[in-house]
Amino acid sequence: MRGLVLLVTLACVARAQHQALIDYLERRLLAIEDRISLWQEQTTRYASDLRELKQQMVSQLENLDKEKETLRMNLDGVGTRVDRVERELDYLETQNGAQPCVDVDDKLIEQQVTQVKEKQRTKYLKLSDCSDMISTIKAMKILKRVGGQKGMWTKDTSRVSGKVYIFNGTDEDTFNEFASVQDFTRSPGMSLSTNVKLPSAWRGMGHVVFNSHVYYVNQAEDITVVKYDTRNNSVTDSAVFPAQDHVPVYGLNPETVMDLAVDEEGLWVIYATRQNERYISLAKLDGSSVDIEQMWDTNCPRENAEAAFVICGTLYVVYNTKQPGRSRVQCVFDVNGMVTNEEAPLVYFPKRYGSHSSLKYNPKEKLLYAWDDGYQILYKLVMKKKLEI
């Protein structure tokens, strides 16, 4: 009997523990179901929020596309209007002209009278029958960008086609020589060029190449023009420039203490001295002996001048501003007295990058080789006769 009572007691305890376990499991399942329900509810809400956000983003992107198209159309319209205004300004400037950068006073008038008298006493002996002058700039071509902000590039001006010469910087003793314009254009940097070391350093951007010779300016104690033969790599001649107390010839490019130029009549020197430091001077150079043949004082100011070149015995001085704008030919000087500032057309260069550090005229091609903020540019010139002004 006692054993039966014990078994019944144990059975009751086991049933109670089993019921307690079942109750515990039911409570855990209910808690899990509540959490699953909450997760489903939150997931549904998040999915709804994401759909709304997607719709908003799609709507905003569509609005941005519409605004972008409107802005593009407005910019096209602005560009067209700017081009029209520039053409109208060019026309008005050509029709009205610009006053030369000369302070007209009694002293200047007396100086001009003296210059006229000197011209009458000493006639310049022309080497050719060239009577061309610039009418306008027909086109421009940007070949590439290589080198620093300032430099000079050109071809041998005595040949129709030939080698290209690159003088990178303002003070070096080497230059780069390319076999052709095509090699220069397709060359990665200077990789297709020959590096030529000169026996002395060149200064500024006033060098030229003529009849297979590089003429460059060396400044040690005196200003010297050096003639270097590119065929046998040797200096064939040099001469100290006879003028005293040189000052930089261009106000906007003070590194160029003297500028050499080539035209149909040969070699020229563009320079300035302290005795007449407000204005630019011009001299004819003998290419064989590097001697000075004749010298002139011009009425072209140095202030705001950036470069110059010579065509058929006429000096063209190009001006700009300290904050680079549109370069323009605003002063001319003809050694034969056939062209004056009042008669010469006002020529504007297309604005591109900054201002020219050098402009080199090629009389065979009627091209200007320009260096503008590291870009190498060609300007195609339209010419007319001086007597047709």
- The string of pLDDT tens digits covering residues 71-120 is 888 777 776 666 566 655 655 554 444 444 444 444 543 554 454 445 44
Q: Which two tokens stand for residue 193?
A: 């060029």
Residue 156 reports pLDDT greater than 60: yes
The predicted pLDDT at position 283 comes to: 95
Same domain, 73 and 114: no
User: Can you give the residue range of the structural domain that contains 34?
Assistant: 1-96
Strands 151-155 and 132-145, by their bridges, are unpaired
Same domain, 49 and 116: no
Same domain, 89 and 238: no
Kindly report the CA angle at 227 between 318 and 371, in degrees rounded to 5? Answer: 30
Same domain, 91 and 115: no
Residue identified by tokens 């109670």 is 16
The CATH number covering residue 259 comes to: 2.40.128.630
Same domain, 65 and 132: no
Residue 141 reports pLDDT greater than 90: yes
Same domain, 221 and 299: yes
Span 31-70, pLDDT tens digits: 888 888 888 888 888 888 888 888 888 888 888 888 888 8
Last residue of a domain, one of 96, 125, 146: 96
Residue 270 reports pLDDT greater than 90: yes
Same domain, 69 and 110: no
Span 244-259, pLDDT tens digits: 788 999 999 999 999 9
The predicted pLDDT at position 192 comes to: 92
Over residues 322-337, mean pLDDT: 89
The predicted pLDDT at position 319 comes to: 94
- Report the number of distinct structural domains present in the chain: 2
Over residues 349-370, mean pLDDT: 90
Kindly report the CA angle at 283 between 103 and 154, in degrees rounded to 5? Answer: 100
Kindly report which listed range (151-155, 229-233, 305-309, 337-341) carries the lowest average pLDDT score: 337-341
Question: Edge-to-edge strand order for the sheet containing 164-168?
Answer: 151-155, 164-168, 171-178, 194-203
Over residues 170-177, mean pLDDT: 93
Same domain, 237 and 382: yes
The predicted pLDDT at position 124 comes to: 62
- In percent, the amount of the chain with pLDDT more than 90 equals 47
Kindly report which listed range (90-94, 261-265, 294-298, 306-310) carries the lowest average pLDDT score: 90-94
Residue 388 reports pLDDT greater than 70: no
The predicted pLDDT at position 12 comes to: 74
Last residue of a domain, one of 96, 117, 134: 96
The predicted pLDDT at position 129 comes to: 75
pLDDT tier at 332 (50, 70, 90 boundaries)?
A: very high
Residue 303 reports pLDDT greater than 50: yes
The predicted pLDDT at position 104 comes to: 40
For residues 327 and 353, what is the distance between their CA atoms, to the nearest angstrom?
11
Same domain, 90 and 111: no
The predicted pLDDT at position 84 comes to: 62
Q: What is the average pLDDT score of the chain?
A: 83
For residues 364 and 386, what is the distance between their CA atoms, to the nearest angstrom?
19
Last residue of a domain, one of 52, 76, 96: 96
The predicted pLDDT at position 316 comes to: 96
Same domain, 110 and 80: no
What number of helices (H) and strands (E) belong to the chain? 3, 20
Same domain, 88 and 113: no
- What's CA 254's distance to the chain center, in Å? 17
pLDDT tier at 126 (50, 70, 90 boundaries)?
A: low
Q: Are 234 and 228 in contact (CB under 8 A)?
A: yes
Same domain, 184 and 295: yes
